[in-house]
Amino acid sequence: MERYVNVRAPLPKVESIKTPKNLPESKVPALTALGIPEPVTDPRAVMSFRGGGKAAWQRLQEFIWDRDLLKEYQWTRDKMLGADYSSKLAPWISNGSISARSVYQQVQQYEQVRTKNESTNCFRTELLWRDFYWFG
Residue pair 72/119 in contact by the 8 Å Cβ criterion = yes
The pLDDT of residue 43 is 86
Binned average pLDDT, 10 residues per bin, the chain of 136 residues: 79 86 88 90 85 95 97 87 88 93 96 97 92 76
Query: φ, ψ for residue 77 (rounded to 5)?
Result: -65, -25
Count of domains observed in the chain: 1
Q: Flag whether 34 is in a domain.
A: no
Which residues fall within 8 angstroms of residue 101, CB to CB, at 6 or more apart? 7, 8, 9, 10, 11
Q: Flag whether 46 is in a domain.
A: no
Q: Flag whether 10 is in a domain.
A: no
CATH assignment at residue 132 = 1.25.40.80
The pTM of the whole model exceeds 0.85: no
Domain holding 127, by residue range, is 51-77+86-136
The pLDDT of residue 1 is 65
Q: Flag whether 68 is in a domain.
A: yes
Q: Flag whether 59 is in a domain.
A: yes
Q: Flag whether 118 is in a domain.
A: yes
The pLDDT of residue 113 is 97
